[in-house]
Chain A
Amino acid sequence: MKLALTIAFITILFSANAQTSITGNVTDASGIPIEGANVYLDGTYDGGSSDTNGTFSFSTSETGPQTLLVSFLSFETYTIVIDVSAMNNLKITLREDVNSLGSVVLNAGTFSAGDNSKASVLSPLDIVTTAGAAGDYIGAFQTLPGTSTVAEDGRLFVRGGDANETNIYIDGLRVFQPFAATTNNIPTRGRFSPFLFKGTNFSTGGYSAEYGDALSSVLLLNTIDEPDQEKTDLSFISVGLGLGNTQKWKKNSLSINAFYLNLKPYQEIISQRVDWKKPYESLSGEAVYRHTFEKGLLKVYGGLNYSEFDLVQEDINTPEGVNFGLKNRNLYLNTSYKGSLGNDWTITTGTSFANDHNDIKIVNTNVDNNENSFHFKLKLRKRFSNRFKLNFGAEQYVGTFSEHVSVPDSDPFKSSFDNNSTAAFTEANVFFSKKLAMQIGVRGVHNTLLDYTKISPRASLAYKTSSKSQISLAYGDFYQAPQQDVLKYNETLEPEKSSHYIFNYLYQNNRRTFRAEAYYKSYEELVKFDTDRPEFTSLYTNNGRGYAAGLDIFWRDNKSIKNLEYWASYSYLDTKRDYRNYPNKATPNFAAKHNLSLVTKYWIEDWKSLMSATYNFASGRPYNNPNQSVFQNEKTKTYNSINFSWAYLISQQKILYFSVSNVLGFDNVFNYQYANTPNVDGNFSRRAITPNADRFFIVGFFWTISDNKTDNQLDNL
């Protein structure tokens, strides 16, 4: 017995020490040997690295079926389960990891900002250090190709589309009133403070099936997941005061932020062309709460804004001017959850709600309107493999609008509508290889107010032509319901439609980026009416149509000159449309044929200063001269503006900031307003529509108080 046991042990020990050799060769898909691949038996110490010929060889004492793993940077790990004795002269081909760097990117139509995107052209900091943007999140996007300079408006005009054709989303949920309330020729600003966001995608066309109800463009803003640290931020600016505080706990964090803006002291010093009865004043507060679950992240955002102003605007038909007063209250709530469901399923869901209330006075007419909007979205994503992913989801919009107009000596006029729509979308993301990828999707929407159902296909394709360059194509159909000003009088229209065809070329090499994009966009079913502006008695049709075609060029170089970063954008735009009250197809006033932006940022080490200068140019904008027989036949002079900003880092936590727009004081003209009736000579006289002031100055002091002495607010500027 003892002997038998001893023999048994010896046998076990002996057999355990018997060695089998494992040999083979590792190559990539094209047969080129891979050096340095890690080849080993799972769960053991037995393994080796492949040599310059891709050959590997090692021995093991394991027997029977074992798992052999082969891994290498930027390749998918290869796994095979076979008997150890059969692991001889193995021919192993590794597949490229399509998620790794250097893979093709589906980017037609899109500009990404943020360090998480491979096709990023702007860093988050760029968005806020661009001169002329003056801390407005939207300002930096107006220096990208595909946008038109419409300085008197402040919103985004993309590829021949008007500002209403761009929708803005925060964490995938719609922002209903992204811009501060304003009036004609007083430029607006984004409502959100830039520090909330970690990354953005600005699509100038051909965007994903996840987004709808926008004819031209979507701007996707993503809020930060976790603040870096606890801190208090104080801002003292020539036009207002700001206070922010961030607290962190183990799984929770809370940021609050308040800003008071009052243009009165500023406007008393700097003369204005507008007669302000009550200069712009606003108070806003924001709070973001984040909670980390084991498998997900919840974010709750709430913002409340109150603003007020009163002014008298020049008007060619009214010598004493037109008095306009506005009080706006806006509440926005956004709650989103993103998490993993296991088994490569992820869920993204959330709701957003907005209440917007305006109390407007135009001469002696009082307009009160109230709008409630609600958005719910649920999106699921299944990752079948690195090479095939499927997204699908559904969303619901609920909107109610009511307006009450009272004019002295007549009955008040009331209008209201409920605009609800339901949409579903699905999209597949396929990587055929590291070089070729495709995204194909479809979106269906049903609108209950106008009672329509529309299906829109979306597709994009990208192919890597070399290690530094790629080409991509995108196509999509887009529908958008008519705007509020029309919907309050008509509920029988069809949605407006556009189709995008995009061809993109991208070259990226060593911190230099060149991007060229050619596009054609058709417009159909545009809303028309037979009066100057939409009215109750107007006759509405969907007979409008138009097109936009152009070429967008972008060049960025962070490399050639030390401490200097710059980018240049040029857009060529050829567009005509017959819409609203146009008598025929014509180029709208907001669409200049040539737009050019040059943005430079220079870091002066010795002065601890970031100097930034931006030049904007736009060719003349079309306007209509009623003294002429052809509609929209004249052009304003060209638009020029040079903006400058200087951020001086006093210490790591204190920054002094100075900025001035239109340094050289170019006299810019946006448009002309003509008299309604001809003068004694039979001519319609006119008035130029110009900026309210030649220049705008900002002086600010920003102070961050935290335990951590390295943080500052440079990224808020």
Chain B
Amino acid sequence: MKTIIIILAFFTITATNAQSSYEKGMTKAFELWGDKNPDEAINLFERIAKAEKENWLPYYYAAQVHIITTFSIKDAEAIESRLKKAQDYLNEAKTYASDNAEILIMEALLNTAYVAYNPSVYGMTLSAKVEQLYQKAKVLEPKNPRATLYHAEWKMGGAKFFGKDPKAFCPEIEKAILYFENESHDIPFYPKWGKDQVKRVQENCKG
């Protein structure tokens, strides 16, 4: 009996060890990113992804850090190589989670980054793709707040470009706010970012 308890105890210890190292690693990676250390964060996400196997989340975040980083750099070669790497990470993520709305939203952001970086080359070719990705994400999760918010922002950009009123999409933002409030997930580190971006997007609804 005692032996069994010891054995059980042993397995519990190792199990909690494994659990906590994933959580510790992920938490640490987010900290690194928060501390303006994006490349170390990416490296850690990549290590976790390789060690975890079959978990799409670390790949997803590694891609996100690369994508967000390109918004603040100017060097064309660095932007393109980061976006290329981000797509590689998302492709990996997709092999463990097919038809995942969050990955599609991230892919839409990735393509938006290409358009933002060089509109004359990528604007025409990738715009339809971005739209398609948001639509597909919304079919999978009609109440996904990020899909709702960023799709609205994308459409506002298009409306502004064609001299139309971007306010037409403001009700979508209201919906996104509601969806953010109701969002809950059991899986640790499941994407739940974006709520703090609502204000920025809502700027288009003023005046």
Please list the residues of chain A having a beta carbon within 8 angstroms of any beta carbon in chain B. 2, 5-6, 9, 13, 36, 38, 40, 42-45, 47-49, 69, 71, 73-74, 100-102, 115, 123-125, 228-229, 510-511, 558, 565, 608, 649, 651-652, 707-711, 714-715
Decide: A9 near B46, CB < 8 A? Known: A652-B158, A710-B128: no
The list of the 7 closest CB pairs from A to B, nearest first, reads: A38-B43, A228-B128, A36-B39, A40-B47, A708-B131, A711-B128, A47-B47
B197: chain A residues at CB < 8 Å are: none
A1 and chain B: residue at smallest CB distance:
B3
Please tell me which stretch of B100-108, B117-125, B183-191, B199-207 contacts chain A, meaning at least 4 of its Cβ atoms lie within 8 angstroms of it. B117-125
A714: chain B residues at CB < 8 Å are: 124
B123 and chain A: residue at smallest CB distance:
A125
B40: which of A13, A49, A102, A115 is its contact (CB, 8 Å)?
A49
Please indicate which of the listed interface residues A6, A13, A101, A715 has the most CB atoms of chain B within 10 Å of its own CB: A101
A708: which of B42, B46, B132, B163 is its contact (CB, 8 Å)?
B132
Cβ of B3 and Cβ of A47 under 8 Å apart? no
Q: In this assembly, does B95 line the interface, its C-beta being within 8 Å of a C-beta of chain A?
A: no
Interchain CA distance A101-B85 in the complex, whole Å: 11
Q: In this assembly, does B178 line the interface, its C-beta being within 8 Å of a C-beta of chain A?
A: no
Cβ of B124 and Cβ of A73 under 8 Å apart? no
A100 and chain B: residue at smallest CB distance:
B81
Q: In this assembly, does B140 line the interface, its C-beta being within 8 Å of a C-beta of chain A?
A: no
Interchain CA distance A100-B84 in the complex, whole Å: 9
| B66 CB, min distance to chain A CBs, angstroms | 9
A73 and chain B: residue at smallest CB distance:
B81
Q: In this assembly, does B12 line the interface, its C-beta being within 8 Å of a C-beta of chain A?
A: no
A101: which of B6, B77, B158 is its contact (CB, 8 Å)?
B77
A48: chain B residues at CB < 8 Å are: 43
Cβ of B47 and Cβ of A45 under 8 Å apart? yes
Interchain CA distance A38-B43 in the complex, whole Å: 5
Q: How many residues of B contact A (CB 8 A)?
A: 43
Cβ of B158 and Cβ of A45 under 8 Å apart? no
B132: which of A228, A558, A649, A651 is its contact (CB, 8 Å)?
A228
Interchain CA distance A714-B124 in the complex, whole Å: 8
Interchain CA distance A16-B22 in the complex, whole Å: 17
Cβ of A45 and Cβ of B13 under 8 Å apart? no
B125: chain A residues at CB < 8 Å are: 115, 123-125, 715
B6: which of A5, A44, A125, A707 is its contact (CB, 8 Å)?
A5
Interchain CA distance A470-B73 in the complex, whole Å: 26
Cβ of B162 and Cβ of A45 under 8 Å apart? no
Cβ of B163 and Cβ of A608 under 8 Å apart? yes
Question: In residues 18-53 of chain B, which contact A (Cβ within 8 Å)?
Answer: 21-22, 25, 39-40, 42-44, 46-48, 50-51, 53
A715: which of B3, B77, B124, B158 is its contact (CB, 8 Å)?
B124
| A223 CB, min distance to chain B CBs, angstroms | 15
Cβ of B46 and Cβ of A38 under 8 Å apart? yes
Interface class of chain B by DSSP: helix
A558: chain B residues at CB < 8 Å are: 120
Interchain CA distance A123-B125 in the complex, whole Å: 9
Q: In this assembly, does B91 line the interface, its C-beta being within 8 Å of a C-beta of chain A?
A: no
Interchain CA distance A401-B96 in the complex, whole Å: 55
| A246 CB, min distance to chain B CBs, angstroms | 11
A708: chain B residues at CB < 8 Å are: 128, 131-132, 135
Interchain CA distance A426-B3 in the complex, whole Å: 68
Cβ of B47 and Cβ of A229 under 8 Å apart? no
A511: chain B residues at CB < 8 Å are: 76, 118
Further 12 A-B residue pairs, CB within 8 A, beyond A101-B77, A123-B125, A710-B128: A38-B43, A44-B51, A73-B81, A73-B85, A228-B128, A229-B132, A511-B118, A652-B158, A709-B158, A710-B131, A710-B158, A715-B124
B77: chain A residues at CB < 8 Å are: 101-102
A5: chain B residues at CB < 8 Å are: 3, 6
Interchain CA distance A47-B42 in the complex, whole Å: 12
Chosen A-B contacts, 18 in total, with CB atoms closer than 8 Å, are: A5-B3, A6-B6, A43-B50, A44-B51, A45-B25, A48-B43, A49-B39, A73-B85, A115-B122, A565-B120, A649-B162, A708-B131, A708-B135, A709-B158, A710-B131, A711-B131, A714-B124, A715-B124
Cβ of A45 and Cβ of B51 under 8 Å apart? yes
B79 and chain A: residue at smallest CB distance:
A101
B158 and chain A: residue at smallest CB distance:
A710
B129: chain A residues at CB < 8 Å are: 228
Cβ of A36 and Cβ of B43 under 8 Å apart? yes
Cβ of A652 and Cβ of B162 under 8 Å apart? yes
Cβ of A608 and Cβ of B162 under 8 Å apart? yes
| A99 CB, min distance to chain B CBs, angstroms | 10
B134 and chain A: residue at smallest CB distance:
A708
Cβ of B80 and Cβ of A71 under 8 Å apart? no
A36: chain B residues at CB < 8 Å are: 39-40, 43
B38 and chain A: residue at smallest CB distance:
A36
| A429 CB, min distance to chain B CBs, angstroms | 20
Interchain CA distance A546-B82 in the complex, whole Å: 50
Interchain CA distance A648-B124 in the complex, whole Å: 15
